[in-house]
C-alpha cells in the first residue's frame, strides 16, 4: 500500500501570492497514478490535476502539478480568495486507492 503524506498541514497566504503544496509517497510511484483534488468548504472534492501534471477540464492554468517518484507538488500561482479549501493528493494503483491527509489553504 502506498502511503501519502502532505505538507504543510495548513498554509495561510494572501491573494496574489503563490502556494506550493507537497505530497510525498512512501515508495516510488508512476506519475500517471498521482492526482490532486480541491475541496471547498461544504462541497465535494473536485479533480484539479491527473497524471501528476495534466489539468482537468475547466481548471485554470494558475493550477499546475509537477514531480516524480516520491515527491509531487501542486502549485497555485496568483492566489484568489476562492482558492480557500483543502487540497488532497491521491494515488491510484496496485488495485488500491489512497489519499493524503490534505493541506488546508487559508486566504488572509
Partner 1 sequence: EVQLVQSGAEVKKPGESLRISCQASGYSFSSYYIGWVRQMPGQGLEWLGIIFPDDSETKSNPSFQGRVVFSVDKSLSIAYLHWNNLEASDSATYYCARSVTTSFDIWGQGTTVIVSS
Q: List residues near partner 1 by CB under 8 A.
A: 32-33, 35, 37, 44-47, 50-51, 56-57, 86, 88, 90, 92-93, 95-102
Q: Which residues contact 42 (CB under 8 A, 6 or more apart)?
A: none
Which of 9/16 has CB closer to partner 1?
A: 9
Which of 15/26 has CB closer to partner 1?
A: 26
CA–CA distance from 92 to each of 6, 14, 48, 56, 84 (Å)?
A: 16, 33, 15, 16, 25
Which of 24/46 has CB closer to partner 1?
A: 46
CB of 60 to partner 1, least distance (A): 17
Q: Which residues contact 44 (CB under 8 A, 6 or more apart)?
A: none
Amino acid at each position: 500500500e502506498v502511503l501519502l503524506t502532505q505538507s504543510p498541514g495548513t498554509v495561510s497566504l494572501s491573494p496574489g501570492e503563490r502556494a506550493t503544496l507537497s505530497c510525498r509517497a512512501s515508495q516510488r510511484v508512476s506519475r500517471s497514478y498521482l492526482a490532486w483534488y480541491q475541496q471547498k468548504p461544504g462541497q465535494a472534492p473536485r479533480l484539479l490535476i491527473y497524471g501528476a501534471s495534466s489539468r482537468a477540464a475547466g481548471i485554470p492554468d494558475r493550477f499546475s502539478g509537477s514531480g516524480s517518484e516520491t515527491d509531487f507538488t501542486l502549485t497555485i500561482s496568483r492566489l484568489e480568495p476562492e482558492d480557500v479549501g483543502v487540497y488532497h493528493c491521491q494515488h491510484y494503483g496496485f488495485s488500491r486507492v489512497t489519499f493524503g491527509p490534505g493541506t488546508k489553504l487559508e486566504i488572509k
